[in-house]
Structure 1
């Protein structure tokens, strides 16, 4: 039986962003005050400026941590557990209401498409006092898939 072979494909920024755009399941890593990582499962997207955008609240650890230390990482996962992924490192900018309003509209569009009532959406974001985390990519890993190293798969297939 043929084994899945792990892949690792180095891509330029434009291809990395094209890979991330349709994928909205992410793990956001920020740094706690004690230096250890804070991992948060989030939904995210890519805005027109090529930044990863994530909706949050001012009191959440991820928001407070990114305000204190803007160096963040995002692991972007495929919908399938064994699908491809990429880690994106970058610098976060945090926007709170009312400055976050237009960015939250962009966030919604890139994650879910058009809203049936933008005025209602903006009102809800204001009522919820939402924040927006915008991460400008500074480096990224190769786009990878899991599996066996090719030499190990060959040995196993030969058995």
Structure 2
């Protein structure tokens, strides 16, 4: 499958499970809210010190499973994660990217963007984009 073939699925379904690899080789899975952004799968790690972020900083390869609400259709995206935060990226770019990802992962506008921006800085949030290498699943 190509990303263009599943982008509509990511725009309509936001429940996902990200699987990362720990330093000892063990796998770690976390539930996330996700979406599609400029040809990549995307999500926000609200806590910059979370296990998934720590794992992705060590090994950027990951797997994202996205499911429908009834679990009858799904896609899996394997690829390399790109992490953007206030420490490794331009702060204004990061602020705007975090806002964009909020919108694509939830289909809504935040009621108070200044409040959101402040929370993202305080929580050391990380914007994560996954460049797909392999995509497969069951969608109708």
Into which bin does the TM-score normalised by the smaller protein fall?
Answer: 0.7 to 0.9
Question: TM-score, with normalisation over the residues of structure 1?
Answer: 0.76
SS at match of 1:109: helix
- Number of the residue aligned with 2:115: 120
Q: How far is the alpha carbon of 1:12 from its aligned partner?
A: 3.0
CA distance in 2, matches of 1:45, 1:13: 12
Contact residue 67 and residue 93 of structure 1 kept, 8 A = no
Residue 104 of structure 2 is matched in structure 1 by 110
Q: Distance in 2 between matches of 1:45 and 1:12?
A: 16
Q: Does structure 2 conserve the Cα–Cα contact (< 8 Å) formed by 1:27 and 1:39? A: yes
Q: How big is each residue's C-alpha offset from its partner over 1:105-127, in whole Å with a ceiling of 9 and x where there is no partner?
A: 01111122212222222122112
The answer for the alignment partner of 2:56 in structure 1 is 66
Given the superposition, is the C-alpha separation of residues 54 and 87 from structure 1 closer, same or farther in structure 2, using an over 3 Å criterion? same
**Alpha-carbon separation, structure 1, partners of 2:110 and 2:31:** 23
Deviation at 1:100, TM superposition (A): 2.8
Q: How does 1:8-157 map to 2 (within 5 A)?
A: 11-47=1-37, 49-56=38-45, 57-81=47-71, 83-97=72-86, 98=91, 100-112=94-106, 113-144=108-139
Q: Give the TM-score normalised by the residue count of structure 2.
A: 0.86
Larger radius of gyration: 1
Give 5+ residue unaligned stretches, structure 2. none
5+ unaligned residues in a row in structure 1: which ranges? 1-10, 146-159
- What is the aligned residue count? 133
Q: Alignment RMSD, CA only?
A: 1.7
Deviation at 1:46, TM superposition (A): 1.1
In the alignment, the residues of structure 2 paired with residue 12 and residue 46 of structure 1 have an alpha-carbon distance, to the nearest angstrom, of 13
Runs of 4 or more above 3 Å deviation: none
